[in-house]
């Protein structure tokens, strides 16, 4: 018996639906990152993208614990002198709630070409509607 390694051509992907309503940001992001990596599958191979597609709905209703709504700050820098921008979690949720979850999940994925390919399989929507009904995503229930 040898060790089994999944090949990129033989990976079967399915679609998974996560409802983020009244869920904690880090828990939703870590579950989505595990599914995108394929860690929950028996044929997981570290150097092959064996993960599934993840659709997250109700991103505008996600929660954070403690005082993170006012204390958590997102920074971005364009590369020019004096161009450091910052915004709190609360203002980021008002302006673009999808990006908050995308950034949290991206931080949990590998920082290489494989991680960027995994990140493209993440679809986040602010409301309960999504255009992926034809893929028949399997809903996943998070423990409260």
- Domain membership flag for residue 4: no
- Domain membership flag for residue 126: yes
**C-alpha 31 chain-centroid distance:** 8
Does residue 132 have a pLDDT over 90?
yes
Give the separation between CA 82 and CA 114, rounded to whole angstroms: 33
- Domain membership flag for residue 40: yes
Number of domains in the chain: 1
pLDDT digits (tens, 9 = 90+) for 15-65: 999 999 999 999 999 999 999 999 999 999 999 999 999 999 999 999 999
Residue 50 and residue 12 in contact, taking contact as beta carbons nearer than 8 Å: no
pLDDT confidence band for 110 (50 / 70 / 90): very high
CATH no. for residue 38?
A: 3.90.1180.10
- Domain membership flag for residue 72: no
- What phi and psi, each to the nearest 5 degrees, are found at residue 101? -70, -40
Q: Where in the sequence is the domain holding 49, given as residue range(s)?
A: 13-63+93-130
SS3 annotation, 77-99: ECCCCCCEEEEEHHHHHHHCHHH
- What phi and psi, each to the nearest 5 degrees, are found at residue 59? -65, -25
pLDDT computed for residue 144 by the predictor: 62
- Domain membership flag for residue 140: no
């Amino acid at each position: 018996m040898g060790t089994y390694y999944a090949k990129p051509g033989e990976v079967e992907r399915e679609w998974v639906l996560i409802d983020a309503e009244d869920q904690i940001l880090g828990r939703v992001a870590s579950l989505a990152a595990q599914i995108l990596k394929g860690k929950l599958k028996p044929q997981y191979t570290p150097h092959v993208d064996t993960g599934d597609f993840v659709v997250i709905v109700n991103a505008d209703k996600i929660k954070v614990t403690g005082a993170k709504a006012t204390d958590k700050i997102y920074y971005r820098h364009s590369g020019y002198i004096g161009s450091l921008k910052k915004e709190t979690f609360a203002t980021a949720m008002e302006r673009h709630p999808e990006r908050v979850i995308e950034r949290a999940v991206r931080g949990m994925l590998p920082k290489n070409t494989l991680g960027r390919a995994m990140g493209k399989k993440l679809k986040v929507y602010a409301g309960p509607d999504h255009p992926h009904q034809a893929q028949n995503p399997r809903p996943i229930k998070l423990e409260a």
